[in-house]
């Protein structure tokens, strides 16, 4: 157990090094930037004092994180998972990694930490970006938003959405390790996202993993967050078992 933990720590350090200058940073930074820009447009186009500031911020948080949970975060997760796995697929590095004197599961756990960390960073960047936009608005257009963003609500929403997406992190990482390339993961994400939109419009609630984060946000439901966390853990354990049993790809 001690050896596995040591190996996992080393694998995480090595994984962090391998992310340098990789393509994974483009969606991680680009997708939240788009969401922040949209939130800024909504805020700066609001009529001064047309709605109470609290309601305005509630609308912005719900709109930004609703879009994040429903659409952008699943797509980001699919892209980031594919690009993290592509580091090994592209370098044909599985045979190198799996011939090293480390616990084989350490490489999967490290990749999971990378995907979870990057999606967390993107979600945090979104919340921080909206807070900054709020602060700028408070300075430049005090009539529209005199006090800036309510930080507790903002970061609370971010945490809820992120925790509700952990099952997606594990699922998309497994898909990306099993099938190299962005195609399969992204196709599954697109089908998942749009079927989830249909299901939510039909009032079906969180039927698929793609519905957990938006439903957790809308209803403030911690039970869905717990399902996402436990489901993500189960898929991660299954992925570790899968890689340990499977022959290394050529």
Partner 1 sequence: MPHAVETTGLTHRYGSILAVDQVSMVVPKGCVYGFLGPNGAGKTTTLRLLLGLITLRDGTIHLLGEPLTAASRAALMRRVGALIEEPSVYRNLTGVENLEATRVLRGLPRAAVGRVLDRVGLSDADARRRVGGYSQGMRQRLGLALALLAEPALLILDEPANGLDPDGIQTLRDVLARLHQEGETTVLVSSHQLGEVERVATHIGVMRSGKLVRQGPMRDLLQHAEGSTHIRLSDPAAAATALASAGTTARVHEGRVMLETTSDAGIAAAIRVVVEAGLDVFAVDTEAPSLEAFFFASDADAGVTHTAEAS
4 vs 207, beta carbon nearer partner 1: 4
Least Å distance, CB 112 to partner 1, is 16
Contact stretch for partner 1 (CB under 8 A) within 85-93, 132-140, 145-153, 181-189: 85-93
Least Å distance, CB 230 to partner 1, is 28
Could you give the C-alpha distances from 2 to 5, 91, 177, 240, in angstroms and in order? 5, 30, 26, 17
Tokens at 247, concatenated: 């022959």
**DSSP secondary structure letter of residue 211:** G
Contact stretch for partner 1 (CB under 8 A) within 3-11, 153-161, 202-210, 222-230: 3-11
Handedness of CA 56, 57, 60, 65 (dihedral sign): negative
* Residue 183: Cβ-neighbour burial (10 angstroms; 0-12, 13-18, 19+): exposed
99 vs 152, beta carbon nearer partner 1: 99
98 vs 135, beta carbon nearer partner 1: 98
233 vs 248, beta carbon nearer partner 1: 248
Q: Nearest-CA neighbor of 212 among 238, 235, 192?
A: 192
Least Å distance, CB 89 to partner 1, is 11
83 vs 196, beta carbon nearer partner 1: 83
* Residue 17: Cβ-neighbour burial (10 angstroms; 0-12, 13-18, 19+): exposed
Interaction between residue 10 and partner 1 (CB under 8 A)? yes
| Of 28, 77, 102, 119, the one binding partner 1 by CB under 8 A | 102
> How far is CA 89 from its chain centroid?
22
- Contact assessment for residue 162 and residue 120, using Cβ atoms and an 8 Å cutoff: yes
Q: Nearest-CA neighbor of 248 among 106, 79, 88?
A: 88
Interaction between residue 96 and partner 1 (CB under 8 A)? yes
Task: List residues binding partner 1 (CB under 8 A).
Answer: 3, 6-7, 10-11, 13-14, 17-18, 20-23, 87, 90-103, 245, 247-248, 250
């Amino acid at each position: 157990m001690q050896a596995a933990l040591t190996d996992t720590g080393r694998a995480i350090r090595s994984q962090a090094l391998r992310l340098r200058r990789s393509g994974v940073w483009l969606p991680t930074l680009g997708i939240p930037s788009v969401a922040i820009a949209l939130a800024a447009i909504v805020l700066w186009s609001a009529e001064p004092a047309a709605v109470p500031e609290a309601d305005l911020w509630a609308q912005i948080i719900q709109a930004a994180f609703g879009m994040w949970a429903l659409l952008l975060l699943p797509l980001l997760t699919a892209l980031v998972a594919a690009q993290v796995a592509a580091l090994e697929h592209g370098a044909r590095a599985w045979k190198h990694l799996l011939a090293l004197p480390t616990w084989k599961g350490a490489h999967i756990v490290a990749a999971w930490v990378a995907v979870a960390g990057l999606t967390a960073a993107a979600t945090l960047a979104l919340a921080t970006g909206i807070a900054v936009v709020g602060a700028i608005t408070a300075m430049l257009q005090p009539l529209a938003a005199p006090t800036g963003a309510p930080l507790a609500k903002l970061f609370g929403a971010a945490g809820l959405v992120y925790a509700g997406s952990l099952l997606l992190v594990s699922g998309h990482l497994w898909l990306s390790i099993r099938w190299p390339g962005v195609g399969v993961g992204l196709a599954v994400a697109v089908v998942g996202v749009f079927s989830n939109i249909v299901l939510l419009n039909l009032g079906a609630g969180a039927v698929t993993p793609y519905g957990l984060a938006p439903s957790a946000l809308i209803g403030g439901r911690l039970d869905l967050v717990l399902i996402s966390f436990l489901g993500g853990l189960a898929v991660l354990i299954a992925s570790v078992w899968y890689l340990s049993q499977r022959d290394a790809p050529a």
